[in-house]
Amino acid sequence: MTVRGVDLTPDGRIVARCSRGRVRQSIGILHLPLPNPAPEGAEWIEAYRHWAG
């Protein structure tokens, strides 16, 4: 899966716009699995997860 971008939904959630082949899907940042080692910028996702509780 590749994250193609990030969007803010009308209800205020942050979602990652993901794709794999022809399949496209938006996944909530709180539910997005991160690889190990985490990519550059992953600290922002972790901070948001902490803030969202």
d(CA 46, CA 40): 12
Interval 6-53: pLDDT, tens: 999 999 999 999 999 999 999 999 898 888 998 888 898 889 889 988
pLDDT score of 32: 86
* Other Cβ atoms closer than 10 A to 16: 19
**Phi and psi at residue 52, in whole multiples of 5°?**
-70, -20
SS3 helix, strand, coil % of the chain, rounded to 5?
A: 25, 40, 35
Assess whether pLDDT exceeds 90 at residue 5.
yes
d(CA 7, CA 51): 18
pLDDT score of 1: 85
pTM assigned to the model: 0.73
pLDDT score of 8: 95
